[in-house]
Structure formats: C-alpha cells, structure tokens
Amino acid sequence: MHLAKARESNMPPVAQWESYFDPAAILEYLGCRNLHGDCIDFGCGYGTFTIAAAPQVSGVVYALDIDAEMVDLTRARVTQAALINVVVEQRDITVEGCGRPDGTASFVMLFNLLHIEEPVNLLREARRVLRPGGFVGVTHWKVDPNTPRGPSLEIRPRPEQCRVWSERAGLRWARYQDLPGSPWHWGMVLERP
C-alpha cells in the first residue's frame, strides 16, 4: 500500500539530517526529560528524536511515520540501540489518527510537520491522545532563506501562526523555546488543559 506523504517532506541522507539537531538537548528544553508515561513521535523519520526520547520516558515511545522506508530504518536503529520501550508503526496520522487511546500520552512530538495542508487536524489528534496536563513539543524550520533545508518559505509556519492553530485545536500555549544546537529551528511547548 502506498500512502501519500505530506507536501515537501522528503528527507535528506541521515547524517545530513542529524547534523541539524541536538536531539537530546531539544527534547530536554521542550519538556521530555524523566517523563512519566508514554510519548508519541508523529512523523518519526529516521527515529532521530525517538531514539533520544526512549531513555527519558518511563513508558513507551510510539514512533509513527507514513513512509515505509523510514519505518524500516527506525526499527533497525531501535534494534541496534537495544531499546525495549519503542514501538514503530507505519501510519497515515492525518487519515487514521495515531492509533492510541484518548488521554493516554504524556508527550507528543510534532517536529517539522506543521507545514502540512491541515495542521489544525494534526494538533487536534495530538490533543485527543494527550492526558490532561500533557505536552506537545513543536519544532519547525525558521522562515529564513538561509536555512540549509526545509519546505518552501511560503508554507513554513511561524510560531505565532502555530499558536493560533493550537488554540483552535483546544491546546494551551505554554512557551516559545529557543533550541540548543539547532540555529535553523524554533520550538514551542503546548499543553492540554
């Protein structure tokens, strides 16, 4: 079965991709440190953030991606890292949802995803699956022509826009966050009231 990826979401080689981030530091700054409960990585790609999150989570990290190749690569990396609290699944979250029960996750990662056609629906799915008081960590490429990658500038969301979308989805804005080791991205934390 072929699933349609989000617009402008092709990935560069893994080494190039991972040179843009300090995943452990970003997760810590966004609130995924010594986390009690489950975590869901929407659009896990190579598993860059999944692998960094697994040691910080007392529950399970669910790594979801629409791309079968990314799912296979993430599974292989999880096995290589001997992580026992990660479940990797191929899913079209925009059509099927994330597959987890309502109100069960403590943290949802929405990293470099909100340039999709219907971002509010993705934020609503994150809210649905979060427990009250749970958090969504959001990152995206800055709207800057000097970034080394990222979707077209016209479809890159700005933090202010994401805040409006998140409030429309029933989430509460908690804070804007500078991201260590990632000069080309912005971050924000949202909370389920």
Portion of the chain with pLDDT greater than 70, in percent = 95
Tokens describing residue 114: 């909100």
- Residue 13 has what pLDDT? 85
Residue 107's contacts (CB-CB under 8 Å, 6 or more residues apart) are 31, 32, 35, 37, 38, 39, 40, 53, 57, 134, 135, 136, 137
CATH code for residues 20-191: 3.40.50.150
Q: Tokens 């092709």 map to which residue?
A: 10
Q: What is the mean pLDDT of residues 79-104?
A: 97
Q: If pLDDT is split at 50, 70 and 90, which confidence band does 174 have?
A: very high
Counting DSSP H helices and E strands in the chain, the numbers are: 7, 7
Q: What is the structure's pLDDT at 4? A: 55
Average pLDDT (152-171) is: 96
pLDDT higher at 8 or 146: 146
d(C-alpha 136, C-alpha 147), whole Å: 24
Diameter of the chain by CA atoms?
Answer: 41
How, if at all, do strands 130-141 and 185-191 pair? antiparallel
The number of residues in the chain equals 193
What pLDDT shows up at residue 1?
A: 41
Give the DSSP letter of residue 171: -
- In the chain, domain spans: 20-191
The vertex-95 CA angle with 108 and 102, nearest 5°, equals 45
Terminal CA-to-CA distance of the chain, rounded, Å? 37
- Which tens digit of pLDDT belongs to each residue from 9-51? 678 888 888 889 899 999 999 999 899 999 999 999 999 999 9
Average pLDDT along the chain: 93
Q: Where are the alpha helices (DSSP H) in the chain?
A: 14-18, 23-29, 48-53, 68-80, 93-96, 119-129, 159-168
Where residue 5 falls among pLDDT bands split at 50, 70, 90?
Answer: low
Tokens representing residue 190 in the block: 């949202």
Residue 2 has pLDDT above 80, yes or no: no
Reported as a single tens digit per residue, the pLDDT across 114-136 is 999 999 999 999 999 999 999 99
Write down the pLDDT at residue 74: 98
DSSP bridge partners of 81: none
Structure tokens at 105: 């996750």
